[in-house]
Amino acid sequence: MNKELFKETENLLKNYNKLDIEIKLIKAEIKDIQESYTGCGAIGYNEKSGPTNKFSSMVEDEVIRKEKDLFYLKRDLDYKVRLKRRIDLAIQTLRTKEEKDLIRLRYINQPKVSWGTVARHLKYNKDYCRKELRPKVIKQIADFVFYNPGVQERFII
């Protein structure tokens, strides 16, 4: 496994809780956009206006803008939900309780605990946890998160 993929996988795990919060914020933003409506405003006759060839109205412009915003937010939400689901499934597929506990203790739980605490909890040596168990677990997760077996290509981050 190359270092770049290792670091990317580790960063995903470190930002797992942030990903969950981002999903909730995007859902709230989508709800806010769907519920907000400006509509028509009063026309001001302060200045003399000239003829125009514009076909759309304020309401049409607002609907188009809202639909565009919703499209991008929903696309971002879909991507983050799929990524979170892949991470969850990757953690579930880890073979032993020690591997799952390592991920939970070191990356997912807040605040992050030291390697010494992880080693005491797992009843292993600190160096074994950090230098042998960690790379093995990160590789398993990276293979699951970044690999798409249906298309046989890596998942794009």
In 10 A of CB 122, how many CB atoms? 19
Q: How many CA atoms lie within 13 A of 54 on its CB side?
A: 9
Please report, for the chain, the start and end positions of each structural domain, with discontinuous segments joined by +. Answer: 13-36+57-92, 95-157
Q: List the beta strands (DSSP E) in 45-155.
A: 147-148, 153-154
- Overall pTM surpassing 0.85 (yes/no): no
Q: What is the pLDDT of residues 19-65, one digit of tens each?
A: 999 999 999 999 998 888 665 555 555 655 666 666 667 777 788 88
Task: Check: CB of residue 130 under 8 Å from CB of residue 76.
Answer: no
Burial class (CB in 10 A: 0-12, 13-18, 19+), 8: middle
